[in-house]
Amino acid sequence: MVTEIRGFYSLKELSESLEEEINSYKAVVEEYSQRLGSFLREMEATHGNEEWFKKLSALQKSPKKEKGKGKKSNLSNWIAFKDIMLSKDEQGEAQILFEAVEEINNKITRLVKTKETIEDLKKLGLGEDILYVAYLRDEVPERIVLRKRGEKDAGKFEFVATFSATKGS
């Protein structure tokens, strides 16, 4: 989980940043979904009758109906090693692909909702002289501080120096 504070000079800039994140995550979901689909097609011949395969295939076909069950169900044998879980089974790879797709789709949903909120905020006409200092958790803005530009902006600094040069002989 990434936590950061970023400044935006307009709601448009913030909205465009969210749109870039959404598009980036959609591309990742597409890639992982294709990998998962290919993986399941390859495994169907050898594991099509196994319970784990049937459960995972059902989850991929209807993730909305089965929401939450994918992570909780033990689709493969996982072994705890310190702070991580290990699997040597093929279904382990399919499971992590499914879970990654589900997690990223949840993030896309949060980003889209936040972008819609920013669009509503734009309609308020807050003016052009505002700095939006956003608290982002896992790349999703959760809080925004509105600062009038020209005030001592966090993140802005001034460098003042006097340089003198002498010509060498």
* Domain count for the chain: 1
pLDDT of residue 43: 76
pTM exceeds cut of 0.95: no
154 lies in a domain? no
DSSP states along 20-79:
HHHHHHHHHHHHHHHHHHHHHHHHHHHHTTSHHHHHHHHHHH-TTTTTTHHHHS--S--E
91 lies in a domain? yes
Tell me: pLDDT of 15 over 90: yes
158 lies in a domain? no
pLDDT one-digit tens code per residue, 77-119: 788 889 999 988 878 888 899 999 999 999 999 999 999 999 9
Give me the domain span that covers residue 12.
3-148
154-18-130 Cα angle (round to 5): 35
Tell me: pLDDT of 68 over 50: no
**Cβ–Cβ contacts within 10 Å for residue 96, how many?**
15
CA-CA-CA-CA dihedral for 112, 116, 118, 119, to nearest 10: 130
12 lies in a domain? yes
161 lies in a domain? no
Average pLDDT, the chain: 79
Contacts of residue 156, Cβ cutoff 8 Å, sequence gap at least 6 = none
160 lies in a domain? no
29 lies in a domain? yes
18 lies in a domain? yes
